[in-house]
Each structure stands twice: as C-alpha cells, then as structure tokens.
Chain A
Amino acid sequence: MSVLIFVELDQGSIKKTSQEAIYYGGKVAESLNTGATVLAIGNADEINLQVAGHFGAQKVLHVTESKLSHENSLAYADTLVQAVQQEGSTVIVMAKSGLGDAVAARAAAKLKASVVSGVTSLPDLSNGFKVERSIYTGKAFAIVDIKSDIKILAIKKNALEVVETDQIALVESFAPTLRDSDFAATVTNTEKASSELSLNEADIIVSGGRGMKGPENWDPLLELAHALGAATGCSKPVSDLDWRPHHEHIGQTGIKVAPNLYIACGISGAIQHLAGVNGSKCIVVINKDPEAPFFKAADYGIVGDVFDILPRLTQAVEASK
C-alpha cells in the first residue's frame, strides 16, 4: 500500500504545484508508515521524473502511451484507478487545478472515494482523518473529517513549505488498459500561448485593472512582469472589456491564484477580486486612489500613478539583478 500522487507535466518536467503535491503525499505516507508513488502521464526524460524523489516519492509510474500525449481527463482517471489498484492505495493526492479536478472527480466515482479539494494542511490522524480546506474562495476554511475508505485530496498551491532532499525516485513504466469510450471527444484545435507562464504555477503575478486605462497601455506592466519573471493577470472588468484575454481574469469567478507575490496595478480591490488573490503570500497594491479598498488587504502599498511607478520598479528590478 502506498500513497499515490497524480502529477502534471509541463514540457517533460513535473509542475511546481505537482512537486508540492508529491511533498504532501510523502508526508502523509510517512505518517501512515508507507511509501509514496507518483503517477506521471506523458513524455518526460527519466532524469526529470527521478526528481520526484527530491520531494519525498520513492517510485514513479511513468505512462508513455502515445494516445495519452494529449491531456484527457477521462483516460487519465482510468489510468489513475489502475495505478491505485496496483499500489493498493487508499490515499490519492494531486494539485488543485482544472485537470486535477477533472481527474479527481472521474476517479472518485470509479473508486467510490471522497474528494476534498483546496486542502491547506497535512491530515490530523489522531482521531479520524481531518484536514483543513479553503472554502468560499479563500474567504474561510473548514476542518473536515474524511470518512470514506479511499480519500482523494487536491492540494491548494503554497499550502506547505516544500523541503527538498537529494533523494531520487525509481522510475518504472506503467501501461494502463485504455477504453475506447475515454476517447469519445476529438480535439480539433488548441489555442495556447506556449511562452506564457501559467497563472496557476506562477510564483509572481503582476496584474492590471481599469486604472491601466486601456489595452494599449499594458506595456509598462508587461515590462515589470518580464523583469520579475512573472505571469500577468487582470481584473474582471478588464477581461469583460476585452483589454486582456479571459484566461488572465483573476477573481472569484475567474482564476484563483496563490503566488508568493501579487502586484496589483490600478485595481481598486472589489471583494470578488480579493477572493481570487487572498491565498497570495504577499500583496502589493499600486493605485492613485488612497481610499482603494485593496490597500486594506495589501502588505505593501504605493499611492501614485501606475504609469510613473511601473517603469521605475522595472528599472529597480533590473538594477538589482
């Protein structure tokens, strides 16, 4: 029996959020006095998968089936269930993400397992299996006791401080039996900006609101983001106005983010936007309105004109490199 961790790959490497999931799974495995096994689906070099050991896994099951080179939550869930059965796992861990949610859901129904999503703490095993999870889009937390025999936990980004070791994991190939019904949908086209940093993965996010005054004024924000190696986001009005693409919309009804650093430029801080960023470790707000509610949620604030301040911050970042 081992804890099984489903990981996501980005160009052959384990995503940062999945590294956190491995660390979480490794810690649970230690508590249960068992091992931690990773399931990785997609093309990756063995050396990139052995890295799972740094985060606490002993073994990686690697699926290279070419039919799965395209993300397919139905087939991934089938594969996960077969790995669970091989390993005899009762605890399954993954990062909270769009793909993670889809795979967790399909696998849970197959296994009659519970899914607890947005988990923010290691389990308390002293009396049951209790974890803390984020609810109401980060406006509150809940302690829940998981009663089902098989438990699926989707871990919120930045929930734990990951400590790496120099251990490496043993990589084994894993060949699932695939069902035709999992390939019922055909992908006809993919529109993806491959150079963009994913908001879900980014450690730093620079985000703009209506205070940027128009899509033609985004360059100073993009330059700061580039200097910081940050992803870029925006508030809902900005994506509603088509100043920025929808997949940059951060907020209660957009993407929920939890970076180490969130820099909000010209965003007043409506409660729905705050709900999408309240998992951030550090929030910086730049706004010319000193009464902007976002300052109440910020760690650092600058009252001033974003078009004056952003280029100066970019220069300061470049100078400090």
Chain B
Amino acid sequence: MKILVCITNVPDTTAKISFTDNDTRFNKNGVQYIIGPYDDYALARGVELREASGGSLTVLNVGESDSEPQIRKALAIGADEAIRVNAEPTDSYFVASQIAHIASQNKYDLILMGRESLDFNSGVVHGLVGEMLGIPSYSPVMQLDVTEGKAEFAREIDGGKEHLVASLPLVLGCQEPIAEWKIPNMRGIMTARTKPLTVVEPVDVDTMVTLEKYIQPAPKGACKMIPADEAEQLITLLKTEAKVL
C-alpha cells in the first residue's frame, strides 16, 4: 500500500500569537513550530498501517525551508521519504492544488492528513484534494483499518460517530483517537538524516484569497468575582447583567 501523509508546519499550541510589519505578518520570533497536531495523528496511523501491511509512506509538506525540521521529525517517526513543495502556503486552494498535483503523479492508495491546520483552521484541504483527484474524502476520521484494499473507518458526527466502509483510494482528514502520537527514537532520528527529502517547485495556481491584515482580539475585561457563599447570585447576574439566560 502506498500512503501519503500531508503535514503542516504550525506554531506550537501554547504559542502566543502576535504580528509584525503593521499587522501584516505573523511574528515568528520566539515561536516553537511543530507538526500540526491533527497531522501527527494521521502520521502515527499511517506508520502503523505501513508497518502492518508493507508498502511505502511518503510525507508531504507545502512549505518553505523552515519546515524541514518538522519533515525530518516525520521521517524519524517512520516515513520512508519526504517531498517538500517549496512555497509559502497561502490558502487552502493553493495547498490542495499542490498536494493533488503530487498525488496525481504517484497514485497513492491512501492520502492522510489532519482534519484541519492549526493556524487557519479551515478544515477543507482534504475535501479539495479528494475532489481534485476524483476520489472520495471523509473527515474527521477517528478510527481506521485497511484490509485488502478496503478501508473500514469511523468519522465523528454531531454527538457520536458513524462507521463506514469504502474501497481505496481515499483521502481522509484525521483526528484523535485514531492512533497515539509517536515520539521518534534515537535510531529513527539517525536514519531520518539519510532518508530522501525531495524539494519540488510549486505548480501555478490562481490566487483566490489575499491577506490584508491580521487583528488581535480585544483585551478581555476584568473577571467579576462572586464570593462562594453567595454563588446563587451568579444566576441573577447572568439573567440581568450579562443577559445570557
């Protein structure tokens, strides 16, 4: 089975968000970057499936050279090879077009990625890629098994989950608890250095959306503290003052 896992390179979940250049650029200063947490789940399950059934696992990132530490980490976790499309990921359509272009050349059986990126949270890249390739896409997938070209998977729905069966190829957007995140071991880190990381230039895609400006949320006002022995007051305040009851 040929598996493609697409990863994003995003600020750590604890990162404070700020902007520079008159609020037109993200301030990377002091920010730790990570593989998108949802992508980490996709990668972990991809590695398990490849270990169980053989084949190959390619990791793909659309990003500039500062993504490479995260790509090497994915190789250390168990990907066999990596492709980086050398471009700033500007919007979902651009990223999906790059992934679909690579995928159309290599005929993967399974394309996995996180349900959404942690920066722009759109949650649409898997669907775009699926449609661009003319194959089904499902998300958010929280269980996945593959046997003899058939995927049995479960996706989260409002208040529960739905179990499905479909033939490969498929594009799936993943989330927990599809697998436990994997931490690279020393052998993985050493071998990752020798695994192939191919850098390719992007294909041309029309600009769909341009960014004008970032905005920081307004600072929160002070919290009104209610003494514990007068806790019942809260309900009155929520009705009369906050008007949310």
Residues of A bordering B, CB below 8 Å: 71, 73-74, 77, 98, 101-106, 108-110, 112-118, 130, 132, 134-148, 154, 181, 184-194, 196-198, 200-201, 204, 228, 246-247, 252-253, 256, 260-261, 271-272, 275, 278, 281-282, 284-285, 295-305, 308-309, 312-313, 315-317, 320
- 8 closest A-B pairs (Cβ-Cβ)? A105-B127, A304-B228, A192-B160, A109-B131, A114-B208, A105-B124, A185-B166, A101-B123
Other 19 A-B pairs with CB < 8 A, given A247-B156, A303-B228, A313-B231: A101-B124, A105-B127, A114-B208, A115-B128, A130-B212, A132-B215, A140-B19, A140-B215, A141-B216, A142-B212, A147-B207, A154-B122, A184-B136, A187-B164, A192-B158, A192-B162, A309-B231, A313-B232, A316-B235
Interface set, chain B 217-245, CB cutoff 8 A to A: 217, 220-221, 223-228, 231-232, 234-239, 242, 244-245
Asked if A304 contacts B231 (CB within 8 A), the reply is: yes
Q: When chains A and B are docked, how far (Å) is the Cα of A298 from the Cα of B238?
A: 13
Name 23 A/B residue pairs within 8 A (Cβ), A-sorted.
Answer: A73-B127, A98-B139, A103-B127, A105-B124, A106-B131, A109-B127, A117-B120, A136-B118, A137-B118, A139-B217, A140-B19, A142-B212, A145-B211, A145-B212, A148-B208, A186-B164, A190-B160, A256-B121, A271-B14, A282-B238, A300-B237, A304-B231, A316-B236
CB distance from B136 to the nearest CB of A (A): 5
Residues of B bordering A, CB below 8 Å: 11, 13-14, 17, 19, 37-38, 91-93, 96, 116, 118-128, 130-132, 134, 136-140, 142, 152, 156-167, 175-177, 206-217, 220-221, 223-228, 231-232, 234-239, 242, 244-245
Q: Is the interface of A mostly helix, strand, loop or mixed?
A: mixed
Asked if B122 contacts A184 (CB within 8 A), the reply is: no
Total A-B residue contacts, Cβ distance less than 8 Å? 274
Asked if B13 contacts A184 (CB within 8 A), the reply is: no
> Hey, which chain B residues are within 8 Å of A305, CB to CB?
228
Asked if B167 contacts A252 (CB within 8 A), the reply is: no
Asked if A299 contacts B242 (CB within 8 A), the reply is: yes
CB distance from B159 to the nearest CB of A (A): 4
The closest CB in chain B to the CB of A74 belongs to B136
> Hey, which chain B residues are within 8 Å of A101, CB to CB?
116, 122-124, 127, 139
With A77-B131, A109-B96, A193-B159 known to touch, is A299 a contact of B124 (CB < 8 Å)? no
Option from B92, B126, B157 in Cβ contact (under 8 Å) with A190: B157
Asked if A141 contacts B163 (CB within 8 A), the reply is: no
Asked if B217 contacts A140 (CB within 8 A), the reply is: yes
Asked if A247 contacts B159 (CB within 8 A), the reply is: yes
> Hey, which chain A residues are within 8 Å of B93, CB to CB?
108, 114-115, 148
Q: When chains A and B are docked, how far (Å) is the Cα of A173 from the Cα of B223?
A: 51
CB distance from B218 to the nearest CB of A (A): 10
CB distance from B114 to the nearest CB of A (A): 9
> Hey, which chain B residues are within 8 Å of A113, CB to CB?
208
Asked if B119 contacts A136 (CB within 8 A), the reply is: yes
Asked if B38 contacts A253 (CB within 8 A), the reply is: yes
Q: When chains A and B are docked, how far (Å) is the Cα of A118 from the Cα of B117?
A: 13
CB distance from B101 to the nearest CB of A (A): 13
Asked if A252 contacts B118 (CB within 8 A), the reply is: yes
Asked if A300 contacts B122 (CB within 8 A), the reply is: no
CB distance from B160 to the nearest CB of A (A): 3
With A101-B139, A114-B93 known to touch, is A143 a contact of B213 (CB < 8 Å)? yes
The closest CB in chain B to the CB of A194 belongs to B159
Asked if B13 contacts A98 (CB within 8 A), the reply is: no
> Hey, which chain B residues are within 8 Å of A300, CB to CB?
223-226, 234, 237-238, 242
Option from B166, B217, B244 in Cβ contact (under 8 Å) with A141: B217
Q: When chains A and B are docked, how far (Å) is the Cα of A194 from the Cα of B119?
A: 33
Q: When chains A and B are docked, how far (Å) is the Cα of A147 from the Cα of B209?
A: 5
The closest CB in chain B to the CB of A134 belongs to B121
With A114-B91, A142-B215, A300-B234 known to touch, is A135 a contact of B120 (CB < 8 Å)? yes
Asked if A117 contacts B124 (CB within 8 A), the reply is: yes
